[in-house]
């Protein structure tokens, strides 16, 4: 199929003279826990413009069932949480980052409670539970299995109360704008009604979320298409660990229905996994059984599905009191009822799905990227906290901590001013093509199926090479297209990130954490106890 395509700098024609413009001290892109917390922090001393692709509620945070991990019990210790995180990360966590996040966690979680986050309480204190990979109960929940929504609601209320924050919903960020000397100077976006517009910013915080929609099977909402990583790559930022996509072991499997997360807290409270023949199997794969790390459980389920020639396995919660179950897991209870599954009598059909992007835009301990004035936090970033495998419920914690850290850095930076900000003249034109008839929806569906098949839970060289070839062909087909809708821009972003993921997965000739190579099943510390970086 020929050589791989070059990536063009911008997805749309940019004319910084004729396009409507706004100016701000701080631009925050994204409305999950990291973006909201960053905006709140920066707004203490700076004017902030918060933009999001959909509404403030459209984020992975809002949909998160699992909890937020932090040391909230007198019998627990920072050292224990650090050790659990490092053990799960399979040798490539950044210990400085792990220490930073773990030690800042309790204060920020308590702050959420003060801001009105409706965490589950016991005797007036935040209730905590045990999850797989943790050596101590330290996971807080809100309304049982609606923790993400509880946290997001509290942060959104706070954001709306801040006079220094301007909220722009339904504004699609197409590209980050950069100057000739490699400084981020803002973004070009598009509002469906108002058309293209430029936001010039003294500092930009990228918190655009994850990339689960790159896979056919995913727990992520429709907005999670990897836009932030693709924009940062085109702008010249360093990205790392793009081969590390975490798959959640248990999502509800109903043929024809959208996958819905079945939180691992269920397994923490005694649910067991059964195969299609009714046999419990996890103890055959790991001494911790159902409480093994997520990558182990996902691969075990996949292996048992192949052995039994089944499309799924089952979660058995029949031994859990139904009244307790309904109160503890209201969302899952309603979800099961909607498919006529009686949790007191019936097994819950489940299978793995793409869940969390561990890799992303490389940052340091301040949230800074390789591009001046550009920070990243949340799932779009790769801080080094998770290593090669994320410990359950550490993601909301990371977003909370690094949202604050990035906001603090911006609050110490310069304001937008005529003296400091001299927006560069940008004129960028893409030649129009005579080729027509590209069906982006068909490309997206084919791409997601390809990624699930070849860059999924298990991988090997030949399918990874095939993936690069196929995506390269699609890339060449869209390179000379100028799209004018989010669907087209998303398609281009998805192709970009998928190609980079396949390349990275092919480069890591070992198995480590969530990255499992059938042709290299062993961990190779001599050559790969490190991160893999990519740059445009």
Q: What angle, 0 to 180 degrees and rounded to 10, lies between the N-to-C axes of helices 147-161 and 394-412?
A: 20
pLDDT given for residue 63 in this prediction: 86
pLDDT at 434: 53
Q: Sort residue 241 into left (φ over 0), alpha (ψ -120 to 50) or beta.
A: left
Phi, psi of 354 (to 5 degrees): -60, 135
Q: Pairing state of beta strands 121-122 and 427-428?
A: unpaired
User: Which one has a higher pLDDT value, 63 or 108?
Assistant: 108
* Among 70-79, 141-150, 367-376, 520-529, the least confident range: 141-150
Which stretches of 54-148 are assigned E, i.e. beta strand? 68-69, 121-122, 125-126, 128-129, 139-140
Beta-carbon count within 10 A of 279 CB:
12
Put residue 209 in one of left, alpha, beta given phi > 0 → left and psi -120 to 50 → alpha: left
| Gap between the Cα atoms of 207 and 37, Å rounded | 10
Number of C-beta neighbours around residue 445 at 10 A: 12
Confidence of residue 195 (pLDDT cuts 50, 70, 90): confident
Whether 503 sits among the annotated catalytic residues: the reply is no
Q: Where are the domains of the chain?
A: 1-51+168-244+358-536, 246-355
Query: Which segments of 127-280 are extended strands (E)?
Result: 128-129, 139-140, 165-168, 171-178, 184-191, 195-206, 239-240, 245-252, 260-261, 272-274
- The catalytic residue among 294, 299, 390, 506 is 294
> Using CA atoms, how far apart are residues 533 and 443, in angstroms rounded to an integer?
27
Write out the CATH class of domain 246-355: alpha beta
Confidence class for position 133, pLDDT limits 50, 70, 90? confident
pTM of the model: 0.93
Using pLDDT thresholds of 50, 70 and 90, give the confidence band for residue 359: very high
SS3 content of the chain, % helix, strand, coil (to 5): 35, 20, 45
Residue 120 confidence (pLDDT)? 94
pLDDT-derived band of residue 418, with 50, 70 and 90 as boundaries?
A: low
Q: Mind listing the pLDDT tens digit for each residue in 506-518?
A: 999 999 999 999 9
Q: Look at residue 292 in the predicted model and tell me its pLDDT.
A: 82
Strands 195-206 and 374-376 come out as parallel
Model confidence at 155, in pLDDT bands (50, 70, 90)? very high
CATH topology identical between 1-51+168-244+358-536 and 246-355: no
- Classify burial at 323, counting beta carbons within 10 Å of its beta carbon; exposed 0-12, middle 13-18, buried 19 or more: exposed
8 Å CB contact between 67 and 131: yes
Per DSSP bridges, beta strands 374-376 and 348-357 are unpaired
End-to-end distance of the chain based on CA atoms, in angstroms? 22
DSSP 58-72: -SHHHH--S-EE---
Percent of the chain past pLDDT 70, that is, above it, reads 96
The mean pLDDT of 2-30, rounded to a whole number, is 84
Work out the mean pLDDT of the chain and round it to a whole number: 92
What is the structure's pLDDT at 2?
41
Distance of CA 419 to the CA centre of its chain: 37
- Residues 97/365, Cβ–Cβ less than 8 Å: yes
Nearest partner of 488 among 531, 433, 414, 406, judged by Cα: 433
Q: In the sheet that 128-129 helps form, which strands lie side by side, from edge to edge? A: 68-69, 139-140, 128-129
For the residues 17-42, what does the mean pLDDT come to?
96
The pLDDT of residue 433 is above 80: no
Task: Assign 3-class secondary structure to 147-166.
Answer: HHHHHHHHHHHHHHHCCCEE
> Is 526 exposed, middle or buried (CB count within 10 Å of its CB: 0-12, 13-18, 19+)?
exposed
Question: Which has the closest alpha carbon to 359: 249, 232, 486?
Answer: 232
Q: Is the pLDDT of residue 3 over 70?
A: no
| CATH of the domain spanning 1-51+168-244+358-536, picked from 3.40.50.2300, 3.60.15.10, 3.30.1540.10, 3.50.50.60 | 3.50.50.60
Q: How far apart (Å, rounded) are the C-alpha atoms in residues 330 and 336?
A: 10
Confidence of residue 421 (pLDDT cuts 50, 70, 90): low
């Amino acid at each position: 199929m020929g050589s791989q395509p070059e990536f063009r700098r911008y997805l749309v024609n940019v004319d910084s003279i004729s396009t409507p413009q706004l100016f701000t001290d701080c631009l925050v892109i994204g409305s999950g826990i990291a973006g909201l917390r960053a905006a709140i922090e920066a707004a203490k001393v700076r004017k902030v413009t918060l933009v999001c692709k959909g509404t403030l509620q459209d984020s992975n945070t809002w949909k998160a069932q699992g909890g937020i991990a932090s040391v909230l019990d007198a019998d627990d210790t920072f050292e224990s949480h650090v050790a659990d995180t490092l053990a799960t990360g399979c040798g490539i966590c950044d210990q400085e980052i792990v220490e930073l996040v773990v030690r800042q966690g309790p204060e920020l979680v308590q702050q959420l409670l003060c801001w009105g986050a409706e965490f589950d309480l016991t005797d007036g204190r935040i209730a905590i539970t045990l999850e797989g990979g943790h050596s101590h109960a330290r996971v807080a929940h809100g309304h049982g299995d609606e923790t993400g929504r509880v946290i997001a609601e509290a942060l959104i209320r706070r954001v709306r109360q801040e006079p220094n924050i301007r909220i722009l919903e339904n504004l699609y960020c197409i590209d980050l704008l950069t100057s000739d000397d490699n400084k981020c100077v803002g973004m070009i976006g598009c509002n469906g009604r108002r058309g293209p517009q430029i936001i010039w910013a003294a500092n930009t915080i990228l918190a655009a979320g994850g990339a689960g929609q790159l896979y056919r099977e995913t727990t992520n909402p429709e907005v999670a298409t990897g836009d932030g990583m693709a924009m940062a790559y085109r702008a010249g930022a360093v990205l790392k660990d793009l081969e590390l996509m975490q798959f959640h072991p248990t999502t509800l499997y109903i043929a024809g229905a959208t996958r819905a997360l079945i939180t691992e807290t269920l397994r923490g409270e005694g649910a067991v996994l059964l195969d299609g023949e009714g046999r419990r199997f996890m103890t055959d794969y790991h001494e911790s059984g159902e409480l093994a790390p997520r990558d182990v459980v996902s691969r075990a389920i996949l292996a048992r599905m192949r052995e039994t020639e089944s499309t799924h396995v089952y979660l058995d919660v029949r031994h859990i009191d139904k009244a307790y179950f309904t109160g503890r897991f209201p969302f899952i209870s309603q979800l099961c009822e909607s498919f006529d599954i009686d949790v007191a009598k019936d097994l819950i059909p489940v299978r793995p799905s793409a869940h969390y992007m561990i890799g992303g835009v490389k940052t340091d301990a301040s949230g800074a990227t390789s591009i001046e004035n550009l920070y990243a936090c949340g799932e779009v970033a790769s801080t080094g906290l998770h290593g090669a495998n994320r410990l359950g419920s550490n993601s909301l914690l990371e977003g909370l901590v690094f949202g604050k850290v990035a906001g603090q850095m911006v609050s110490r930076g310069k304001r937008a001013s005529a003296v400091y900000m001299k927006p560069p003249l940008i004129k960028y034109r893409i030649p129009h093509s005579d080729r027509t008839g590209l069906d982006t929806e068909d490309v997206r569906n084919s791409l997601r199926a390809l990624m699930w098949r070849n860059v999924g839970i298990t991988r090997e060289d030949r399918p990874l090479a095939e993936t690069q070839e196929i995506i390269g062909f699609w890339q060449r087909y869209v390179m000379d297209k100028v799209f004018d809708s989010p669907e087209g821009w998303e398609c281009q972003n998805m192709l970009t990130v998928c190609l980079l993921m396949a390349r990275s997965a092919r480069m890591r000739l070992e198995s480590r954490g969530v990255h499992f190579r059938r042709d290299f099943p062993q961990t190779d510390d001599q050559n790969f106890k490190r991160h893999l970086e990519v740059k445009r």
